[in-house]
């Protein structure tokens, strides 16, 4: 007898999702943690690294971009494509809000870098607007790219399955 239809209900085994999986399902938790992490990372690399090295600036920028895109991918991968239409912008909005709140906290402690100086309270609004604009563009652009890749892969797999089914029918008829 198949294991899909056990004789007793005690034989049912439910798999609990892992901690990372449960965490990645929630847009609020994932985006807030990403926002806080990225702002602290940006503050650290802006003040700790060499200011004249283009390699340092480029590599730290690329790593920050990679972290943002990876977090968005981990979250969006849990849902079908049609839900990405509202999940990607919401992720970007919440992430930017968390980053801006972290920037406010860092400004309060006098630790938020703005170029070679420290940011002040009057700088926060323009910083928050720039963060929102760039995160929205980055996350939505990345989600659009991912959606195109998923669509192409699914279309290719479906085409291959259709060919395999036709071959199996031809073999069965012969």
Q: Within a domain: residue 51? A: yes
Adjacent-strand bridge partners of 114: 117
> Residue 20: its pLDDT value, please?
84
Q: Which pLDDT belongs to residue 32?
A: 97
The answer to the question of residue 107 being in a domain is yes
Assigned domain for 1 exists: no
Task: Indicate the DSSP class of residue 109.
Answer: T
Q: What is the pLDDT of residue 8?
A: 55
143 Cα distance to chain centroid: 9
pTM score of the predicted model:
0.81
- pLDDT at position 57 is 87
- Quote the tokens at residue 131: 């963060």
Give me the tens of pLDDT residue by residue for the chain, a chain 174 residues long.
455 544 555 556 677 778 888 888 999 999 999 999 999 999 999 888 777 888 988 999 999 999 999 999 999 999 999 999 999 999 999 999 999 999 999 999 988 888 778 888 999 999 999 999 999 999 999 999 999 999 898 888 877 777 677 667 767 776
81-108 vs 27-48: helix crossing angle, rounded to 10: 50
Alpha helices in the chain (DSSP H): 19-25, 27-48, 54-76, 81-108, 124-173
Amino acid 53: pLDDT: 83
In a domain, 4, yes or no: no
Per the domain annotation, does 147 fall within a domain? yes
Is 3 inside a domain boundary?
no
- Tell me how crowded residue 129 is: count the other CB atoms within 10 A of its CB: 12
Task: Quote the Cα angle for 82-84-85, to 5°.
Answer: 80
Is 99 part of any domain? yes
pLDDT at 5: 47
Domain residue limits at 71: 9-173
Is residue 2 situated within a structural domain? no
């Amino acid at each position: 007898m198949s294991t899909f239809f056990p004789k007793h209900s005690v034989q049912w085994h439910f798999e609990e999702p892992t901690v990372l999986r449960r965490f990645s399902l929630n847009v609020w938790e994932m985006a807030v943690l990403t926002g806080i992490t990225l702002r602290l990372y940006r503050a650290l690399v802006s003040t700790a690294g060499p200011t004249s090295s283009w390699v340092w600036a480029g590599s730290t920028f690329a790593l920050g971009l990679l972290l943002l895109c990876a977090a968005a991918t981990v979250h969006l991968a849990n849902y079908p494509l049609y839900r990405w239409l509202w999940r990607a912008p919401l992720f970007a909005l919440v992430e930017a809000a968390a980053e801006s709140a972290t920037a406010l906290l860092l400004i309060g402690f006098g630790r938020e870098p703005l170029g070679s100086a420290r940011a002040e309270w009057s700088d926060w609004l323009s910083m928050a607007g720039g963060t929102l604009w760039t995160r929205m563009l980055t996350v939505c652009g990345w989600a659009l790219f991912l959606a195109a890749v998923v669509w192409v892969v699914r279309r290719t797999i479906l085409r291959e399955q259709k060919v395999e089914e036709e071959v199996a029918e031809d073999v069965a008829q012969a």
